[in-house]
Amino acid sequence: MKSTRRNRSRSRDCHRLPSKIGPINCPTRESWHSRHLSDLSHSHLTHPPPPVIQSPKMITKYLTSVATSFSPFNPRSGKTARNFLALLPPNARSTMAIDVKILPQAQAHQPVTLDLKFKDGKEMKLDLDKMKIQEIQIEVDRHSRILRRQEDLAG
């Protein structure tokens, strides 16, 4: 039912009547609320819950060495290497050996690798041309959790 200006002004006027007379054939505020606000499924009345943001932190406690060489002119692999280095904590240089080699533009086509060494002696050689940053983070976190579990069991 389409509401007209005349109907709206009439309903407003009936609430302005003196309390002795009271509104006649006028919906009360309770009925208006029950009619318009009771259905909470309307998207304009409810807000969606805030998104759950995954923590971008990577478990780097068990890394002893990080070596990478990349060309900034190779957009895919250069970006992946830079993003991995950005995930390292600020104090990483004091806790692990970091070796970064930036290749010139002439060598931009060479495959970019990331070499990681862990405290238990395991070495990972990852090809950044084929992997995304989340896949690299999953691999590092998987082995770091194994080392953490071994450390907890040892005491």
The pLDDT tens digits for 88-147 are 999 989 999 999 999 998 988 888 889 999 999 999 999 888 888 999 999 999 999 999
What is the per-residue burial (b if ≥16 Cβ within 10 Å, else e) of 106-124? eebeeebbbebbbeeeeee
Beta bridge partners of 34: none
What pLDDT does residue 77 have?
75
- Domains of the chain (ranges plus CATH)? 5-36 (no CATH), 63-154 (3.40.30.10)
Whole-model pTM over 0.75: no
DSSP strands (E only) in the chain: 63-70, 97-102, 113-118, 123-127
What pLDDT score was predicted for residue 67? 97
Q: What is the DSSP letter of 16?
A: T
pLDDT at 99: 96
The 10s digit of each residue's pLDDT in 10-41 is 555 555 555 555 555 555 555 555 655 555 55
